[in-house]
């Protein structure tokens, strides 16, 4: 039999390619660290709950005093109701949107400020570096809670005000990490060659010095998201954060602590959701550190 006699049957259109794509996607997902997969799964479930809450659930601020302290799985309240008849499930679903919106906004804003400060300090050096690092030391010396208490009387309790306040105390880690990385990168021969080639200072900072710090910034942001979520809930718990009608997990926990013995679900279910979000932030950060093989705390020191 000659080679020309061989007949090769072409694969069925669509099925092998689709199967291979799904197989590659599953292989990539399986190759991720277990902690990273767990954190992403928790985030996905939280976002799904938030989507359901925005589309299908009732208004979280809708009150029904006849349903005050309704028990879970009764009277149309899957997770019960609080003292004013607010549906706990609806409140939690909308609070997830509030928490993640504030968390992502604070991480993005503080990262931008920290990156700019770190790039300028690391590249300029000398007096500029010393001045910016003294600003970092001053920021670290001021207790964040004291700043929040002093500012709450003037800036109010809106979401924008809370994002700005938390960002004021959250940019320092980014500045220190980026500065450390720039100090290492600027001594390389490739940076000297770029300078001799006439590369502009802005392009040198953004194209040559910033990318090596990208993975560090990503890991730091994922870890910091947990701290921001905790700050938001804690400030709302003590009355310095988000105030109604904007839903907040911390506010519901604060309102339910007085009736904890008779209506435990008002505290337990929001507290469980907050704990899951914090767990997701921490395990995603740990998973990214394992994936990239870096330790942000070591680099920052």
Question: What is the mean pLDDT of the segment spanning 242-260?
Answer: 87
Entry pTM: 0.85
Does any domain span residue 22?
Answer: no
Distance from C-alpha of 156 to C-alpha of 74, rounded to nearest angstrom: 37
Name the residue among 78, 40, 3, 46 with its Cα closest to residue 286: 40
Does any domain span residue 18?
Answer: no
Does any domain span residue 13?
Answer: no
225: helix, strand or coil:
helix
Distance from C-alpha of 247 to C-alpha of 51, rounded to nearest angstrom: 15
Which domain covers residue 95, as residue numbers? 34-57+77-300
N- to C-terminal Cα distance for the chain?
71
Ramachandran category for residue 69: left, alpha or beta (phi over 0 → left; psi -120 to 50 → alpha): left
**DSSP character for 186?**
T
Distance from C-alpha of 84 to C-alpha of 82, rounded to nearest angstrom: 6
Distance from C-alpha of 170 to C-alpha of 140, rounded to nearest angstrom: 10
Does any domain span residue 157?
Answer: yes
Please tell me the predicted confidence (pLDDT) of residue 301.
54
Question: Does the pLDDT at position 9 exceed 70?
Answer: no
pLDDT band at residue 18 under the 50/70/90 scheme? low
Does any domain span residue 246?
Answer: yes
Question: What is the mean pLDDT of the segment spanning 220-229?
Answer: 92
Distance from C-alpha of 129 to C-alpha of 135, rounded to nearest angstrom: 10
Does any domain span residue 23?
Answer: no
Please tell me the predicted confidence (pLDDT) of residue 187.
82
Does any domain span residue 136?
Answer: yes
Rounded to the nearest 5°, which phi and psi values hold at 169?
-105, 10
Identify the CATH number of the domain in which residue 167 sits. Answer: 1.10.3720.10
Question: Does the pLDDT at position 99 exceed 70?
Answer: yes
Give the number of domains in the chain. Answer: 1
Does any domain span residue 235?
Answer: yes
Is the Cα torsion angle 272, 278, 280, 286 positive or negative in sign?
Answer: negative
């Amino acid at each position: 039999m000659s080679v020309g006699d061989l007949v090769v049957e072409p694969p069925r259109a669509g099925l092998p390619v689709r199967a291979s794509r799904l197989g590659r996607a599953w292989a990539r997902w399986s190759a991720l660290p277990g902690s990273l997969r767990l954190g992403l799964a928790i985030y996905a479930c939280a976002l799904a709950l938030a989507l359901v809450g925005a589309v299908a659930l009732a208004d979280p601020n809708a009150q029904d005093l006849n349903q005050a302290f309704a028990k879970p799985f009764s009277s149309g309240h899957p997770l019960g109701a609080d003292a004013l008849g607010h549906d706990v499930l609806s409140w939690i679903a909308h609070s997830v949107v509030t928490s993640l919106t504030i968390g992502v906004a604070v991480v993005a804003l503080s990262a931008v400020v920290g990156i700019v400060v770190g790039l300028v300090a690391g590249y300029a050096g000398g007096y500029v570096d010393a001045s910016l690092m003294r600003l970092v030391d001053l920021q670290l010396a001021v207790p964040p809670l004291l700043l929040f208490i002093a500012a709450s009387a003037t800036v109010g309790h809106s979401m924008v005000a809370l994002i700005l306040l938390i960002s004021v105390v959250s940019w320092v880690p980014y500045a220190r990490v980026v500065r450390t990385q720039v100090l290492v990168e600027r001594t390389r021969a490739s940076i000297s060659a770029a300078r001799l080639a006439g590369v502009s200072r802005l392009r040198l900072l953004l194209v040559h010095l910033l990318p090596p710090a990208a993975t560090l910034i990503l890991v730091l942001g994922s870890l910091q998201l947990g701290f921001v979520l905790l700050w938001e809930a804690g400030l709302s718990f003590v009355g310095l954060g988000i105030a109604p009608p904007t839903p907040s997990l911390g506010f519901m926990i604060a309102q339910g602590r007085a009736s904890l013995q008779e209506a435990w679900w008002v505290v337990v279910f929001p507290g469980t959701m907050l704990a899951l979000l914090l767990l997701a932030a921490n395990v995603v950060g740990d998973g990214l550190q394992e994936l990239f093989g870096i330790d942000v705390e070591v680099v920052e020191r």
